[in-house]
Chain A
């Protein structure tokens, strides 16, 4: 924990509370990660103790298409990082370009997920395998969708003059959220597709 004695200067910032948003958001992400931790450990526990894990007729999960999805999603962490770099150099055009690219990659991931879901032989009531599979991918997908919405919001706000006079915490928080979603996906991919 840092020693955060306030200087009189930051007392003045109370009016808009802008200085606290990022702190609050980081705390929120830590808390949110516990939900995933709970789901992950539930998955591991159910899987290791199951007698027949896969529902009858299901051979296992196809992992090649999800791997492509994974590559796209993880690279979007890189593009959003680049966008932030351009933002720092005040190159708004490239910032918006890479930002939009990250959004598109996120959308591609969601599309890929939807295609995968629609081709599966099992539903979410097919035993604990089906339940946990849809719970984990669905809950994560919800986060991806939220991330895309947040990015869209930030993109629109970037056109408002004077938007960044109070700091760039919105952009920072959104990109942090996006990295978070990516890291969660990597763990999820390892758990569900690699560990079969």
Chain B
């Protein structure tokens, strides 16, 4: 391989319009995903503000009870299917090809179709606010028999739109997963064996395998639900001989693994970022990487822990309780590896690092409450209370969303070519961390005291903690302002980024910022060592000095 013509001459900026069309470049699709996801994040967040506004007083005064049911259902659905999954797929699109040195995804057109399904089913879901009877109101898990009621008798109704949207979301995610898995398996740079692959790619491979195994079950279950709702079958209808618990099996067979689809890439982000900002190799690389697949294996066989109160046999409860607790082992391996990485490192408290540290803290907290929930007696006691809501928001907001913010600040310079502002970033981090804890911590005592979830009014003895939680929620709402301000102003007029502003090690940092359309093109460097060689002086690829010197020269001449 020669590196004679690398990096290529910078081409004129192709302009904004490509972000609004059917573009097959993974880097454009990645940004389309992320921007779309944050649009829906604002809608889901607005609904969350309405929820917390309602709950600041014990009475049901802000919204009608029936409307409240629709609001939390749509909040959960939008946040999961229109924010978290799309934003993670956006990161996958940006990071997987550049990290493994591929020019694009394996199937670029399929990739674009998968993305454009998101605004389509997103609009379907939002449209359900405007149909007679309002949106779906049966919770984000849509259990029958509630979800197969159609009191107004309209063929087009909120619940039907909900099921259609979720099924389409499944199709889109399966298309994405096919692409990510094939790309990782077949398109790695020369010399990048599977054990030299960055951990983010390991976790993406693990998470996307879960999508491929789990999602078809949910989609199948959703089709049957739609037929029960709209075409008069009785798969889940007890009066017709059907079994509502069957749906719960389908639903949780996917939706438990779905939490790993969310958290595994975040583990990947932590594993990428801690070494950069601690200037040390990732502690126990191979164990961290392999633990992802142990989590996949265990994650697929624990779904019944969501159904402990739903009349499953005692032997099943015990079995699934043990499996669930076993997941703590590979997860613990990862946590210790990160702590081992940070330990004694030269910590650089940049915005991404602060988000990672905050996220790790919240994750450990959520891990403790998670083990409590896995215990059958505790679960039966707090099931359907605010304890559960507190637990999963610690995982999702406290750990996953904070990890995603870390990734955005970390890789923004690479893909946009400009630096985000540190001051605004740190403000955003502080507000997020304080807001999230203030919001979600009080939910634990509330749950232990017995406050049920999904209610718009409650006993006045719960008022104190609810007021605290609502104030925290409003703080979280405010925290988005510095974030958006930062992103928009940095994109427009932030300082130009060099190819490697964080002095990070990885193929993506050997590309210009932003990378050219086909990344390395035909001149993919040959990988000669494991990732994360911080402080070891080992080069990652052949001719590394030469490549970096050329990038420096190009930047100097552009300046």
Q: Which residues of A line the B interface, CB within 8 A?
A: 1, 3-8, 11-12, 14, 17, 19-20, 23-24, 27-28, 30-35, 37-39, 42, 45-46, 49-53, 124-125, 127-132, 135
Q: Is B182 an interface residue (CB 8 A)?
A: yes
* Residues 232-272 (chain B) with a chain A CB within 8 angstroms: 232-235, 240-243, 246, 249-250, 253
In angstroms, Cα B524 to Cα A45, docked, is 52
In angstroms, Cα B241 to Cα A51, docked, is 8
Give chain B residues whose Cβ lies under 8 Å from the Cβ of A8.
1, 190
Q: Is B189 an interface residue (CB 8 A)?
A: yes
Closest residue of chain A to B526 (Cβ to Cβ) is A8
Q: Are B186 and A27 in contact (CB under 8 A)?
A: no
Give chain B residues whose Cβ lies under 8 Å from the Cβ of A30.
212
Q: Could you show 21 A-B contacts with beta carbons less than 8 Å apart? A: A4-B194, A5-B193, A6-B189, A6-B192, A7-B190, A11-B522, A20-B107, A30-B212, A31-B215, A34-B213, A35-B216, A38-B217, A38-B221, A38-B253, A42-B220, A42-B224, A127-B234, A128-B240, A131-B227, A132-B235, A135-B227
In angstroms, Cα B108 to Cα A12, docked, is 16
Q: Are A23 and B216 in contact (CB under 8 A)?
A: no
Q: Are B213 and A14 in contact (CB under 8 A)?
A: no
In angstroms, Cα B224 to Cα A38, docked, is 11
Q: Is B106 an interface residue (CB 8 A)?
A: yes
**Known contacts A17-B107, A45-B243: A5-B190 contact under CB 8 Å:** yes
Chain A nearest CB from B521 CB (Å) reads 9
In angstroms, Cα B219 to Cα A127, docked, is 22
Chain B nearest CB from A27 CB (Å) reads 6
Contact of A4 among B108, B188, B191 (CB under 8 A): B188
Closest residue of chain A to B109 (Cβ to Cβ) is A17
Give chain A residues whose Cβ lies under 8 Å from the Cβ of B183.
20
Contact of B185 among A1, A17, A135 (CB under 8 A): A1
Chain B nearest CB from A16 CB (Å) reads 11
Chain A nearest CB from B440 CB (Å) reads 34
Q: Are B190 and A46 in contact (CB under 8 A)?
A: no
* Residues 94-112 (chain B) with a chain A CB within 8 angstroms: 102-104, 106-108
In angstroms, Cα B216 to Cα A135, docked, is 15
Contact of A39 among B212, B220, B524 (CB under 8 A): B220
Closest residue of chain B to A46 (Cβ to Cβ) is B243
* Residues 140-188 (chain B) with a chain A CB within 8 angstroms: 174, 177-179, 181-183, 185-188
Q: Are B235 and A131 in contact (CB under 8 A)?
A: yes
**Known contacts A11-B524, A27-B182: A128-B190 contact under CB 8 Å:** no
Q: Are A31 and B174 in contact (CB under 8 A)?
A: yes
Give chain B residues whose Cβ lies under 8 Å from the Cβ of A50.
241
Contact of A24 among B182, B191, B227 (CB under 8 A): B182
Give chain A residues whose Cβ lies under 8 Å from the Cβ of B241.
46, 50-53, 127-129
Q: Are A124 and B213 in contact (CB under 8 A)?
A: no
In angstroms, Cα B231 to Cα A131, docked, is 10
* Residues 498-539 (chain B) with a chain A CB within 8 angstroms: 522, 524
**Known contacts A20-B107, A31-B174: A3-B194 contact under CB 8 Å:** yes
Give chain A residues whose Cβ lies under 8 Å from the Cβ of B187.
6, 14, 20
Chain B binding surface, main DSSP class:
helix
Chain A nearest CB from B220 CB (Å) reads 4
In angstroms, Cα B193 to Cα A1, docked, is 12
Q: Are A5 and B234 in contact (CB under 8 A)?
A: no
Contact of B216 among A4, A31, A53, A132 (CB under 8 A): A31
Give chain B residues whose Cβ lies under 8 Å from the Cβ of A20.
106-107, 182-183, 186-187
Closest residue of chain A to B214 (Cβ to Cβ) is A34
Give chain A residues whose Cβ lies under 8 Å from the Cβ of B178.
24, 27-28, 31
Give chain B residues whose Cβ lies under 8 Å from the Cβ of A24.
106-107, 178-179, 182
In angstroms, Cα B234 to Cα A42, docked, is 12
Chain B nearest CB from A45 CB (Å) reads 6
Q: Are A5 and B235 in contact (CB under 8 A)?
A: no
Give chain B residues whose Cβ lies under 8 Å from the Cβ of A17.
106-108
Give chain B residues whose Cβ lies under 8 Å from the Cβ of A31.
174, 177-178, 212-213, 215-216
Give chain A residues whose Cβ lies under 8 Å from the Cβ of B104.
14
Closest residue of chain A to B106 (Cβ to Cβ) is A20
Give chain A residues whose Cβ lies under 8 Å from the Cβ of B233.
124-125, 130-131, 135
Q: Are A4 and B185 in contact (CB under 8 A)?
A: yes
Q: Are A12 and B221 in contact (CB under 8 A)?
A: no
* 14 additional contacts (CB under 8 A) given A8-B190, A20-B107, A34-B212: A3-B194, A14-B102, A20-B186, A27-B178, A27-B212, A30-B212, A35-B217, A38-B217, A49-B243, A124-B233, A127-B234, A128-B241, A131-B234, A135-B235
In angstroms, Cα B154 to Cα A152, docked, is 40
Q: Are B213 and A128 in contact (CB under 8 A)?
A: no
Q: Are B186 and A19 in contact (CB under 8 A)?
A: yes
Closest residue of chain A to B195 (Cβ to Cβ) is A3
Closest residue of chain B to A45 (Cβ to Cβ) is B246
Interface string of B198-213 (1 = CB under 8 A from A): 0000000000000011
Closest residue of chain A to B189 (Cβ to Cβ) is A6
In angstroms, Cα B231 to Cα A23, docked, is 37
In angstroms, Cα B108 to Cα A51, docked, is 51
In angstroms, Cα B234 to Cα A20, docked, is 42
Give chain B residues whose Cβ lies under 8 Å from the Cβ of A42.
220-221, 224, 235, 246, 250
Give chain A residues whose Cβ lies under 8 Å from the Cβ of B524.
11
Most chain A C-beta atoms within 10 Å of own C-beta, residue among B174, B186, B188, B215: B186
**Known contacts A12-B522, A49-B243, A128-B234: A23-B192 contact under CB 8 Å:** no
In angstroms, Cα B181 to Cα A23, docked, is 9
Chain A nearest CB from B420 CB (Å) reads 32
Most chain B C-beta atoms within 10 Å of own C-beta, residue among A24, A28, A129: A24
Give chain A residues whose Cβ lies under 8 Å from the Cβ of B235.
42, 46, 128, 131-132, 135
Give chain A residues whose Cβ lies under 8 Å from the Cβ of B242.
46, 128, 131
